[in-house]
Every structure is written in structure tokens, then in C-alpha cells.
A = this chain, B = another copy of it.
């Protein structure tokens, strides 16, 4: 009986994931559009965490955000304020939002607004800052703050008006195309970024802004092949939020890391987090850095794998091994092995090389424990200290304990329900 209940629930979750229609509907300011946002709230990646337990890059990003918001004049003031108890820290995931790496989102930051047209729920994500010294990797120098200000005052308004002229953008179709063009939607977003630029460029031209600003916006997007990441993430977020809370389902609807702890949430177990210390990332380092410099796994971007892309779609993105390590054959093997722990195959995101087979979608906590195969995650690597930035990229798994604890809790829940 319990098997049938679970099977039916998991089929329902997969159907929700398959039927989801994420579209970009606009850009807004976090304070105005993100539910529950206040001027002194800082959203962060991963499960809940207190200031004193935050890792270096998350602390750095928080400090940068406080400076950016004008709540602190410098790093020392920011650190003091962060520790004072006056700032409310909350996971992005508790506010229908996601953020890459540190995931820090503060009141005046512009955010993409996505809507899941099939189910009506929304998702939010900041705009991608580019490479090098950036807030999401824990850097907070004036260069970082100045760029965030330009993004607030130029990038976002231009894109917002261009989107208004264009109308909603169907992200599912765009992402499906990108996955047939060598992206996996997490650590390789070159095709998605290109498709977004060509879609928006004619409308950017038609906005009311000065030509210099329009050109600067187009150059900024062109300079950053990760620009599309901050759209694949909320696309996956609004997909999985719609699948949250399906009774008896053992499918994972959230995976996220705050740089200290990795957390997962399971559809049938609702809002409850199952956490464990983050693993170290194995990967390739930028010149001058080694694994000694690396912070443990961080960021909400593992929402992509949770929805069936990212590391799960690596077979379609073999060129990514130049960035995260390994060989194209490894990339195929990663995808193939993920079919062992997932409920089904994605109807929209297909891999030409696997004869147009859909990506493995819907991680089942039972299958993870039964097979001992942990989800594979493509990710960036942040320096462990605040203020430095990205030092590499690589591959990582969630801690097995999250899955063990979730399954144990699920069994207890079923016992409580009296179905086993």
C-alpha cells in the first residue's frame, strides 16, 4: 500500500515538473517584489544559518550587501552590524528566491521575476554580476559595490523596459534549446546567454535609454557567459516549488548550501530541512590557487541538478570538462548514473547524444540510499576567506547524511500516518 501511495505521489511530482512553464515576466526591486523582504533583511543561499556560523565567502557577501545598501560605511562597520542582531538573515528559499554561491540578496537589488505559468507561483533571482571579483563569491571591494550600483541604475532598468516591450519570455523553450547547444544550465550557460541576448537585443535598441547605456548593457551580457545562470536557477526554483508538499512523495524539491551546511527538502516532508556539513569540491583551480584556498560547497545553484539539469545534463555539455575537470566520457557517465536515482526523464530537456533522451529528473531519496549513488553537482569554488572571490570550478556531491536523515524522517512520518 505504501509503495503505491509513494509511486502515485512521485508520479504526480514528476508530472508537475514536466508541465511547468517558467517565463520571465519582468524585473523588480527585491524590497518591492520578493515576499517578506525588508530593508534590513539579507537573504542567503542554502539552509538557515546564523552569522557566527557563516563561512568566509558568505560573510564577505553579507558585508558587501550592507555596504551596498548604505547600512555600513566599510567592512568593519558591516561586520559589526551583521553580528549585532539588527539584520535578519533568511534563506532565499524561504522567499521564493534563489541565489548562486553566497546567494546574498538585499532590499535594493534588482531581481528577475519569473512566473510558473502552469501553476501561478513565482520565483526571484538577482542579476548575474559576471566573473572575477564579485559579491556572490564573497568579494566586497569598491569595484564590486560600484558594479552592483551600475546594475541597479542601468542594467536592470534597461532590461526591465526591454522586457516590457518584448513581453514574457518562455524560458523552458530557451533552456531546452541551450541544452541542445552544449549548456547544462549550471556551470555552462554560454548558449543560454547567447539566446537571451539575441532575443532581447532588438528590444534593448527600442528602449528610451541613451545609446551608451544600451551598448553597455549588451556588452555586459556579452562579457559574461554565466549571465543566463540567474535565469536557469529561478526557472528550476519555480518548477520545484510547484512540486513541494505532495503527500507521500519521496522526491527532493530543494538542495542548497550556505557554505557551511548542505540542506535538502523533500516534497512529501514539506518545509523541513535535512542538513549536514558541506563537502569539499573537487575541481580545477585558477592559476595561483589550490584546494587549500577553497571554501566548502556553497550556493543555491544546485537547484538546477534538483530539477534535472546541471550535473545531471552533463552528457549534453561535454565541453564543460575543460572547466570542472574530467573527460567527456565522465560527463556521459555522470548523466547515465543519475537515471538510477531519479523518477523519470525530462520531456523538455533532452540530450541529442543520448538519442534525444530526456535528462534524469526527480531525485528519489529512496533510490539514493538504496543505490548509494549521490547526486552529481557542477559548481564554482569560492575562496574560503571573505573578500577574495572565485578560485575554481569542479564537481561535488551532497553529504549522504542529508539523504539518510530525510529517509528516516519519511519512514517516521509514514509510521505516524499509519501507512506502514
Q: Is the CB of A222 within 8 A of B199?
A: yes
Q: Does A253 contact B (CB under 8 A)?
A: no
Instruction: List, in ascending order, chain B residues with CB within 8 A of A355's CB.
Output: 327-329
| Chain A 332-344 interface 0/1 with B at a Cβ cutoff of 8 Å (1 = within) | 0000000000000
Total copies of this chain within the assembly: 2
Q: Is the CB of B197 within 8 A of A201?
A: yes
Q: Which of chain B's residues has its CB closest to A222's CB?
A: B198
Q: Is the CB of A198 within 8 A of B214?
A: no
Stretch at the interface among A20-28, A202-210, A394-402, A408-416: A202-210
Q: What are 29 A-B residue pairs whose CB atoms fall within 8 Å in the complex?
A: A177-B190, A180-B182, A180-B319, A181-B182, A181-B190, A182-B191, A191-B191, A197-B198, A197-B201, A198-B218, A198-B222, A201-B201, A201-B222, A202-B215, A202-B216, A202-B218, A203-B215, A205-B205, A205-B214, A205-B215, A205-B218, A206-B211, A206-B215, A318-B352, A318-B353, A321-B352, A328-B353, A328-B355, A328-B356
Instruction: List, in ascending order, chain B residues with CB within 8 A of A145's CB.
Output: none
A354-B327 Cα distance, complex, nearest whole Å = 10
Q: Does A195 contact B (CB under 8 A)?
A: yes
| Chain A 136-159 interface 0/1 with B at a Cβ cutoff of 8 Å (1 = within) | 000000000000000000000000
Using a CB–CB cutoff of 8 Å, the interface residues on chain A facing chain B are 177, 180-182, 190-191, 193-195, 197-199, 201-206, 211, 214-216, 218-219, 221-222, 318-319, 321, 327-329, 352-356
Partner of A191, one of B181, B201, B353: B181
Instruction: List, in ascending order, chain B residues with CB within 8 A of A206's CB.
Output: 211, 215
Whole-angstrom distance between the Cβ of A400 and the nearest chain B Cβ: 31
Instruction: List, in ascending order, chain B residues with CB within 8 A of A319's CB.
Output: 180-181, 352
Whole-angstrom distance between the Cβ of A99 and the nearest chain B Cβ: 25
